[in-house]
Amino acid sequence: MKLNSVVTKLYAFLNKISQNKLFKKQARETSAPMPRKSHVVSKSKQKSNLRRVLEPIAFVLAGILCFSYPVCSTLWNNHVSKEISTAYDKYNHDQAGDVRRAHIRAAKRYNATRKDMLTRDPYGGDGQEDITNTPGYKRYLKALEEPMGIIGIVKIPKIGVKLPIYHGTKEDTLARGAGHLYGTDLPVGGKNRHTVITAHTGLANATMFDSLTELKKGDYFYLDVQGETLRYKVFRINVVDPHDISLLQREKGRDLATLLTCTPYGVNSHRLLVTGYRVLPDPVAAPEDHVQWPLWMTLFVIAMIFSAAILAMMIAVVAGKKRRKWDIRGKHILWVGRGEIKLRAK
């Protein structure tokens, strides 16, 4: 009886030692904060979370790129126009003086003998007959004809304009620069002469005459033709009905030039006329212009900076949330592991 009791106690003692060894082994295995299967995030869930993070960021970036197009294309086209104008200046200065003077004399003869007078708005589609196929227009195209197709350069230093001037006011012509209004004098100066140079306002991809409204009486603009620079001082600014061409006619004894564009901006229901009279002596060259940076472009750049700041904040918030989420998950897993140890210890 005593032997059986001793054996039973010995068996119980050995069993207890075995359980204690097993417990210590399990404690060592569970002491590290290793997550259980229920806490492991699947790869598909991770991809889903990544997609939710990247989609709004990609959307904001796409918006910034799309809305940046007008500014970038405008700056590029302005640069191209100035490069073309510079190339024209160089071409004329490289020509022989006799050739340039011959072109000027021919243009002045054209002005003295021309019979075609201005009778319509250059931007109007009022059903008037097409004048581009008439003999007078073909004669007009030969005046100041150059290989580059440019008859001169209009420069307005105050607002940063430097545009090539082409014959006529066709739509494809005005998409490339300024146009000389057919029916007015060629831009070579002289008494009883009035030349009209026109360009668009409100194009999505070029500035052109957008800032013409900033000119005031007393400001200067310049016309470069065949290596000669003609200087004009603004003395009259008018807004007229598109069919009112009375202010574009010759005025006795005066040498005039008018810059014409549509107004108001984006509406184009009227015409803005900025007229200057010739100031002698002619300067050797027009002064350097300012960078053409209209108000809408400044506001747009501010909006882009604001959007970029919002994007940076979004990225920072998302990254912060993700970091805190993994910190909390790690602490929870460690607490659960230790809790299991305590439960099993009991």
Mean local confidence (pLDDT), 273-287: 87
Domain coverage including residue 195: 68-293
Beta bridge partners of 271: 240, 262
- Longest Cα–Cα distance in the chain: 148
Residue 171 belongs to some domain of the structure: yes
CA atoms of 189 and 104, how far apart (whole Å): 10
Greater pLDDT, 119 or 1? 119
Give the CATH number of the domain where residue 279 resides.
2.40.260.10
CA atoms of 270 and 39, how far apart (whole Å): 71
Report the mean per-residue pLDDT for the chain.
77
Mean local confidence (pLDDT), 247-254: 94
Asked if 276 and 230 touch (Cβ cutoff 8 Å), the reply is no
Greater pLDDT, 276 or 136? 276
To the query of whether residue 262 is one of the catalytic residues in this protein, the response is yes
Length reported for the chain:
346
Residue 80 belongs to some domain of the structure: yes
Look at residue 345 in the predicted model and tell me its pLDDT.
41
Tell me which of 103, 180, 194, 200 is the catalytic residue: 200
Tell me which of 103, 180, 194, 262 is the catalytic residue: 262
Domain count, the chain: 2
Asked if 225 and 214 touch (Cβ cutoff 8 Å), the reply is no
- Among residues 252, 273, 293, the one where a domain terminates is 293
Look at residue 332 in the predicted model and tell me its pLDDT.
52
Residue 18 belongs to some domain of the structure: no
CA atoms of 157 and 235, how far apart (whole Å): 17
Which residues of the chain form beta strands (DSSP E)?
A: 150-156, 161-167, 178-180, 193-198, 220-225, 228-240, 255-263, 270-278
Q: Indicate whether 280 and 321 sit together in one domain.
A: no
- Among residues 293, 319, 334, the one where a domain terminates is 293
To the query of whether residue 66 is one of the catalytic residues in this protein, the response is no
Mean local confidence (pLDDT), 321-334: 55
Asked if 108 and 188 touch (Cβ cutoff 8 Å), the reply is yes
Checking if the pLDDT of 327 tops 50, the result is yes
Look at residue 128 in the predicted model and tell me its pLDDT.
47
CA atoms of 162 and 298, how far apart (whole Å): 20
Could you report the per-residue pLDDT of 192-247, keeping only the tens digit for each?
999 999 999 988 778 889 999 999 999 999 999 998 999 999 999 999 999 899 99
- Among residues 252, 269, 293, the one where a domain terminates is 293
